[in-house]
Amino acid sequence: MEKPDIIALLSKHIRISDEMATLITEYSQIKSLPRETTILREGQRATECFFILQGCMKKYYLQDGEDKITKFYTEGEVITPASYTNQEPSKYYISTIEETIVSFGDPNSENEIYKTHPKLESLTRKLGEIFMVKTNNEFDNWVSHNPEDRYLNLVKNRPDLIQRIPQYDIANYLGIRPESLSRIRKRLAK
């Protein structure tokens, strides 16, 4: 697997100065996670946050023995589990769908880096705000639309997901059964 360019991915969301690029490259901790690896389980406290360099992950709840997918994460997206911030047990799971390469942080290393490089903390905060707004917009769109409109929105705004993620996971995310998704796709193909 080719090493992804963290600066190019970050630059899609925020302007990165040469000084920041050097710091980010110097302090980035990178690891590869195999396909279908659960990185956070319900009841655990998250000890790491992630920036996806390559691959795909999903966030889901376990309800009556079934996954309920609420979010997909791909290249250039941040995952900061709620339990990473509030240090309470997680209410959900996060797993890889594909082999995934991430830059990760933990509270101790982040605090040390931020003490010596406060500009990096400011950049991280700005990036977090960008992704918080994006997530809120996705949620608002999801709750205000029916499954067919959610699917059309997904096709329009995240066509990569349609190609990468199994149909049963897409259906789960949309809140419908795979058969219903097949009917929607057939109807839209006409």
Per-residue pLDDT tens over the stretch 149-175: 999 999 999 999 999 999 999 999 999
- On the CB side of 156, CA atoms within 13 Å amount to 8
33 domain residue, yes or no? yes
Residue 112's domain is classified under what CATH number?
2.60.120.10
pLDDT of residue 3: 59
Structure tokens that stand for 137 in this block = 């917009």
174 domain residue, yes or no? no
pTM as predicted: 0.85
The structural domain count of the chain equals 1
40 membership: H or E segment, kind and range: strand 38-40
**Residue 73, CA distances (Å) to 94, 97, 98, 113, 185 in order:** 10, 10, 11, 26, 23
184 domain residue, yes or no? no
164 domain residue, yes or no? no
pLDDT of residue 113: 81
Check pLDDT > 90 for residue 181: yes
User: Percent of the chain scored above 70 by pLDDT?
Assistant: 98
d(CA 60, CA 79): 13
For the chain, the distance separating the N- and C-terminal CA atoms, rounded to the nearest angstrom, is 39
Q: Token pair 């950049």 is at which residue?
A: 123
* Domain range for 81: 6-116
61 domain residue, yes or no? yes
Q: In a 3-state reduction of DSSP, which class is residue 89? A: coil
What pLDDT digit, counting tens, does each position of 101-141 carry? Answer: 999 988 888 888 888 878 778 888 888 888 889 888 888 88
129 domain residue, yes or no? no
Amino acid in the structure at residue 150: R
d(CA 181, CA 59): 20
The angle that helices 167-174 and 178-189 make with each other, rounded to 10 degrees, is 100
69 domain residue, yes or no? yes
Average pLDDT over residues 59-88: 93
Q: Token pair 């880096």 is at which residue?
A: 113
Between these two residues, 92 and 139, which has the higher pLDDT value? 92
The angle that helices 118-143 and 18-27 make with each other, rounded to 10 degrees, is 90
Average pLDDT over residues 45-62: 95
147 domain residue, yes or no? no
